[in-house]
Structure 1
């Protein structure tokens, strides 16, 4: 079996592929692997963006709902699906493919299948994902003065609070929710937690930065190294001070002009041995 060709990085919401393999999956579902697909699956290693919604349309006109789409992987003849995949997508020696999970009878290998993705749902998640990246960069800049030591920097050269503190990121329809842990490790790296005592000011700075970026309506694209699921991809966005590039396997808008507004709200919550900063991002489409 060859690796799945994916077309969603270019924004495709429909594709035609050949069934190359089917297998039984948990919960009585059937796993369908196609030679080509527009379906964006949940990534096992970093499951921030949910899977697309949509259907498989068979040559006889039968339409089957895809109840989930996950990453599958094979090594030495053994297959793993979704959360059971033990390695990151792209690991050498492994084969990776998109798995469409259905609750219907398996199609025959060799059948031609049209993939139809719910375009409105995809668009809402794409806005959420682009907004999430912008919000993380804005938060990094808003907290740039909260560091006592030199640390790794983000795509814009600011101290990378997001990368150093992130615990969980979830892409939502027209938004996202990110959770950051401020514990001993981050303080040892030089972060001054008292910066969060002025949370309203930090929030205002981040939102001011986001407003300035959107006013320019910069172009957004996804650069790809190749057509296979495991090929590296990057989110690229034109901002006032130049292009920024972040490795990313998700889907995105084509331009910041698609947003009327992006805002963040910050809150602090207690957790065992640390404090958590929660950033909720809301994207309002034009």
Structure 2
């Protein structure tokens, strides 16, 4: 097996390829093909769920990232011991099915396009909300920190602990602890309702701007360092990202966020919801 080539970054949801390997996944079967349109769950930052669909007519009940060592041993998901993209490993998309299919056979791969579109909307909105949140919190920094692509202090990257994408929604959790305060962020007196209002005002402007979205793809490898771009009125936004996205903000009727504080856990949670045109 060689590293899987992927076509999902360009938006494809169907394809045809040859099965090049089968690996056990519990009592199920992990089918590996030469090229796939399926987006697997990322093992390092599992924000976007795996695609659904069929391979060779069989349901794909899960889709995982796999890695094959030089010795031929295959590891899946969180069990992968190598650094993402390590050159002496083969990086695989593993389509989990209830039944096996023979190695060497040509199969059709069909992604659930509706589910993919809903996740893509949620993921694009997640990035836009993060940029809007950075801008809304810019006046709370007392020290110089790394800026995002639009010039605001990058609160999102400095404080995020988890991000989860869902169909037409996302949830991001930020740690407001001592380490962030040492970096210069003033969390005292933060009013989540006031911040959410600023974020939503900015998001409304960006959605109305009909801003084009694209994913920069250096090569077809699964672990290629892809970058999300959005040409916003205030400049070209970019965020490293391995997920899928809509082609422009015109596909979104609206994006709204809600923010909540948890003093016990010292966290800020942002929930983002998308309405479609």
Query: Is the Cα contact below 8 Å between 1:45 and 1:87 reproduced in 2?
Result: no
Q: Quick one: distance in 1 between partners of 2:267 and 2:262?
A: 5
Residue correspondence of structure 1 range 181-200 to structure 2 within 5 A: 181-196=175-190, 198-200=191-193
Q: Quick one: distance in 1 between partners of 2:232 and 2:218?
A: 23
Partner of 1:101: 96
Query: Is the Cα contact below 8 Å between 1:235 and 1:245 reproduced in 2?
Result: yes
Q: Quick one: distance in 1 between partners of 2:107 and 2:273?
A: 36
Deviation at 1:224, TM superposition (A): 0.3
What is the DSSP-based 3-state SS (H/G/I as helix, E as strand, rest coil) of the residue aligned with 1:278? strand
- 1:144 corresponds to which of 138, 148, 151: 138
Query: Is the Cα contact below 8 Å between 1:68 and 1:100 reproduced in 2?
Result: yes
Give the ranges of 4+ consecutive aligned residues of structure 1 lying more than 2 Å apart after TM superposition: 86-89
- 1:282 corresponds to which of 248, 270, 273: 273
Deviation at 1:201, TM superposition (A): 1.4
Partner of 1:75: 69
How many residue pairs end up in the alignment?
276
Partner of 2:125: 131
Partner of 1:8: 8
Query: Is the Cα contact below 8 Å between 2:162 and 2:172 reproduced in 1?
Result: yes
Deviation at 1:265, TM superposition (A): 0.3
Partner of 1:60: none
Partner of 2:23: 23
Deviation at 1:195, TM superposition (A): 4.7
Q: Quick one: distance in 1 between partners of 2:275 and 2:227?
A: 24
For structure 2, list consecutive stretches of 5 or more residues without a partner in the other structure.
none
Q: Quick one: distance in 2 between partners of 1:195 and 1:146?
A: 10
Find out whether 1:207 has 2:200 as its counterpart: yes
Query: Is the Cα contact below 8 Å between 1:237 and 1:244 reproduced in 2?
Result: yes
Partner of 1:165: 159
TM-score (norm 2): 0.97
Partner of 1:251: 244
- 1:239 corresponds to which of 229, 232, 239: 232
TM-score (norm 1): 0.94
Q: Quick one: distance in 1 between partners of 2:189 and 2:33?
A: 50
C-alpha RMSD of matched pairs (Å) = 1.1
For structure 1, list consecutive stretches of 5 or more residues without a partner in the other structure.
58-62
Query: Is the Cα contact below 8 Å between 1:146 and 1:195 reproduced in 2?
Result: no
Q: Quick one: distance in 2 between partners of 1:132 and 1:55?
A: 27
Residue correspondence of structure 1 range 43-54 to structure 2 within 5 A: 43-54=42-53
Query: Is the Cα contact below 8 Å between 1:3 and 1:95 reproduced in 2?
Result: yes
| Residues 60-104 of structure 1 deviation map (CA, whole Å, 9 limit, x = unaligned) | xxx210010011001232210122112343123221010001111
What is the DSSP-based 3-state SS (H/G/I as helix, E as strand, rest coil) of the residue aligned with 1:163? helix
What is the DSSP-based 3-state SS (H/G/I as helix, E as strand, rest coil) of the residue aligned with 1:194? coil
Query: Is the Cα contact below 8 Å between 1:67 and 1:101 reproduced in 2?
Result: yes
Q: Quick one: distance in 2 between partners of 1:154 and 1:162?
A: 9
